[in-house]
């Protein structure tokens, strides 16, 4: 393993009524605790991307980096914050995972590392489109951070608008591998169905 990972928790969780969605409890653990447990064995180091008072995450024992682009521009800004941190730590590659998706594959990093394109994104099967990208789950070449910063400063917000320009590869996982929790109904479903 030579990759590090960023857990993207910088969103505003509007559909859940605001706050830190990753702190919601699923069984006896918070979503973010489940994500940390799942990604930590897959990489050499983990950083959390979050905005606001970073000390509210002190109990997790992870370094925390905020977006460097103002105005909550979305997950790409979290990826950039992770890339900047990864560069400081001497890593060439960054894995990104979402704080609201507690059951992503335990071999995510290994499978994404099997491709040599600068950006590799997870995807799931889709009956209509063939593949449905899961763009918050990816492997990013850290040297692209200057390009990404310029794109964000130019107003790019959609992940795939940028990743397609980098020659992305999509890796198909199983349907349901990336079930994310956006609403109270999603959390209730997860309580019944996720192990």
Tell me the binding residues: 8-10, 21, 49, 67, 100
d(CA 141, CA 95): 9
162, 79 in Cβ contact below 8 A? no
d(CA 158, CA 61): 31
Contact partners, residue 127, CB within 8 Å, separation at least 6: none
The HSE-up count of residue 128 (CA atoms within 13 Å, CB side) is 0
Three-state DSSP at 54 gives helix
Give binding residues for GTP as ranges. 8-10, 21, 49, 67, 100
Give binding residues for Mg(2+) as ranges. 100
């Amino acid at each position: 393993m030579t990759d590090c990972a960023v857990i993207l928790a910088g969103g505003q969780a509007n559909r859940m009524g605001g706050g830190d969605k990753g702190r919601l409890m699923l069984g006896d653990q918070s979503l973010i605790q489940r994500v940390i447990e799942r990604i930590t064995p897959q990489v050499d180091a983990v950083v959390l991307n979050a905005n606001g008072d970073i000390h509210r995450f002190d109990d997790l024992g992870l370094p925390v980096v905020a977006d460097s682009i103002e105005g909550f521009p979305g997950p790409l800004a979290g990826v950039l914050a992770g890339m900047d941190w990864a560069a400081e730590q001497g890593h060439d590659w960054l894995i990104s995972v979402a704080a609201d998706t507690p059951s992503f594959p335990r071999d995510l990093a290994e499978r994404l590392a099997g491709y040599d394109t600068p950006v590799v994104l997870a995807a799931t099967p889709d009956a209509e489109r063939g593949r449905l990208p899961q763009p918050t789950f990816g492997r990013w070449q850290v040297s692209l951070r200057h390009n990404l910063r310029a794109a964000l400063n130019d107003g790019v917000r959609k992940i795939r608008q940028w990743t397609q320009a980098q020659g992305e590869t999509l890796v198909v996982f199983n349907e349901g591998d990336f079930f994310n929790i956006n609403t109270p109904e999603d959390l209730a479903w997860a309580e019944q169905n996720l192990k």
